[in-house]
Structure 1
């Protein structure tokens, strides 16, 4: 099983979406919201590609049948050990922090300098600093284990409240058989 930073983010947003994504049921290609996020990520800081490094990481399981952890970090400053993550959201979310902590965790487990992360919210014109303490690592390992358990189940997790799903790329997939409200 492969657990990546996207799945850790989705673990905090919607475990149903996490399960669907992990089972390669993808709807992002139909979503204007996802397209807008990619556009913001690609155009907000055009000089980033020159200054920072893109990093792909993995961590093989230490136990048999454990999850393989993977991540692709778009903007990493190897000199300072800083992960930069751009989010289109107009709200700060725990899922964003968890995703950056996952990046820091993988960097450190691979003996790569990882001091802290910065989540940049262009719409809010704010930046949030993300740390990874020993307690945070333990909590993250719990999230990884729980995400793996959920993904390994045969049944998709239940729907969230419909009001939370309106801008989700899986909205039609999840709610098409439900009566309109």
Structure 2
């Protein structure tokens, strides 16, 4: 089973979205909101590509029963300054969200598990011209492991979790999928 940073983000947003994405039903390619986010990420800080590197990182958790494959954790970090150990994430949102912080904490967790210096993270919100620093103290590592365990349990559910209140779903790329014929 693969658990990536997107699933950690979705865990803090909507279990249904998490389950659908993890089970191969992806809607991001049809979303103008997602396309706008990618464009902002690519165009807002072009100078970063010159001095920082994109980083793909993996970590294998051991199998719970000692047999077979364990859980594979993965992330693709937009910008990582290896010299300072700072992770940079850009979000198109005009609102700071717990899910954004959780995603950056997951990046820091993976880097540390791989023995890479990971000092802290910075989330850039270009629309509101703000940044947010994200730290991962040692005492929060257990909380991250609980998130990973919970994500694995949701992925393995036989049935898709229920929808949230429609008011929370309006800007979601899965909106049409979840709410077709329901309005």
TM interval, shorter chain, is: over 0.9
1:135 aligns with 2:162: no
CA drift at 1:51: 1.0
For residue 140 of structure 1, give the secondary structure of its aligned residue in structure 2: helix
Report the 3-state secondary structure (helix = DSSP H, G, I; strand = E; otherwise coil) of the residue aligned with 1:46: coil
- Aligned-pair RMSD on alpha carbons? 0.9
Deviation at 1:135, TM superposition (A): 2.2
Alignment-derived partner of residue 153 in structure 1: 157
1:177: Cα distance to partner?
A: 3.6
The match for 1:107 among 102, 105, 111 is 111
Structure 1 gap ranges (5+): none
Could you tell me how far apart the structure 1 residues matched to 2:180 and 2:108 are? 38
Residue equivalent to 1:26: 26
Following superposition of structure 1 onto structure 2, how do residues 70-149 of structure 1 map, counting pairs within 5 Å? 70-149=74-153
Shift of 1:67: 1.5
Give ranges in structure 2 of 5+ residues lacking alignment: none
TM-score (norm 2): 0.95
Secondary structure of 1:84's partner?
A: strand
**After superposition, where does 1:9-88 map in structure 2 within 5 Å?**
9-63=9-63, 64=66, 65-88=69-92
Classify the secondary structure of the residue corresponding to 1:75.
Answer: strand
- Whether 1:167 aligns to 2:174 is no
- How many residues align structurally? 179
The runs of 4+ residues in structure 1 deviating greater than 6 Å are: none
TM-score by length of structure 1 reads 0.96
* Structure 1 CA distance for aligned equivalents of residues 140 and 132 of structure 2: 16
Superposed CA offset, 1:29-54 (max 9, x none):
11110011001000000111111011
Deviations 1:84-133 (A, max 9, x none): 00000111111000000000000000001100000000011111000001
CA distance in 2, matches of 1:93, 1:52: 25
